[in-house]
Structure 1
Amino acid sequence: MTSTPQSPRAHALAALLCCALPFGASAAEGALKVELNKLEAHENACVTYLVFGNQTSTDFTSLQLELVLFDDQGFILQRLALEAAPIAAGKTSVKLFEVPKTGCEQLGRILINDVGACADTAGTRTDCLQRIEPTSRITTQLFK
């Protein structure tokens, strides 16, 4: 049996189709955008305003984010776990989280380090961290 040689273009297209999306995902499923929109000083704490833009068809019943907070010199201030769900499919919502014993002026960057728990109405999901697209409207950076 002989094989038909394929052009480099065909190989490139096959590689692109194979690897452009995480296994089991489709482009139609969309992203989960997380925007750091505002920091607000409260007595002995900083309140973060996160805007979640759920561009998926998934109603998240659990979304536990592990955040690592850095100062403006790059030193770790603290680690924080927060539950962001419920987040409805196709909906934008704002969630407020208090960062205790931290002044807003201390925050330089916030890392979405991991997703501790992620579930929808069908059960546990494994693609949540890959779906998150972090952005920031302020000088404090939100990244993963």
Structure 2
Amino acid sequence: MVFRTLSAVLLAASVAAFGAAAQDADAKFSLELNNAANTDTGGCRLTYVATNRSGQDLAKTDYQVGVFNAEGVVTRILVLGFGALTNGKTRIVLFDLGDQSCTDISRIIVNDVAECTLADGQPADFCLTGLVTSSRTEVQFGI
């Protein structure tokens, strides 16, 4: 009887912890490097998927990123603007690197938040602290 009670308590605690973890996982801002394709002009077109699951509407979201070549040397630092994102919104944004082939890019890192403004105009801090990054490409993408 004690074993069943203990098992039931442990199961309930596990379900509660899993539910809290799942809720925390949803309370994020995610950026996915979805595609990196060479353009006809020799540049690289980066396709990002941005999803706001922060629980708050964003008026403006910009990230400063560093681009590394195959040797690990930073070739540029630029700002990627994702614009306004209401809570629950996913947006696809394209960025062209006109003078750099995708094969010349080994990784891209989020260096800093250039701007993260809530719909009411107040700055928000979760754009970096709650950021989750991923890549579906050969190019590594992270923080």
Interval of TM-score (by shorter of Structure 1 and Structure 2): 0.7 to 0.9
Match of 1:35 in 2: 32
How large is the Cα RMSD of the aligned pairs? 1.8
Match of 1:83 in 2: 81
Match of 2:91 in 1: 93
Structure number with the higher helix fraction is 2
The equivalences for 1:1-144 within 5 A come to 27=24, 30-42=27-39, 43-122=41-120, 123-144=122-143
How far residue 28 of structure 1 moved from its aligned partner, in angstroms, is: 8.4
Quote the sequence identity (%): 24
SS at match of 1:93: strand
- 1:28, 1:106 → 2: CA distance? 33
Q: Which amino acid aligns with 2:29?
A: L
- 2:131, 2:84 → 1: CA distance? 15
- 1:124, 1:81 → 2: CA distance? 17
Stretches of structure 2 that go unaligned for 5 or more consecutive residues are 1-22
How many residues align? The count is: 119
How far residue 69 of structure 1 moved from its aligned partner, in angstroms, is: 0.1
Stretches of structure 1 that go unaligned for 5 or more consecutive residues are 1-25
Find runs of 4+ consecutive structure 1 residues off by over 2 angstroms.
Answer: 26-29
User: What TM-score, normalized by structure 2, do the two folds share?
Assistant: 0.77
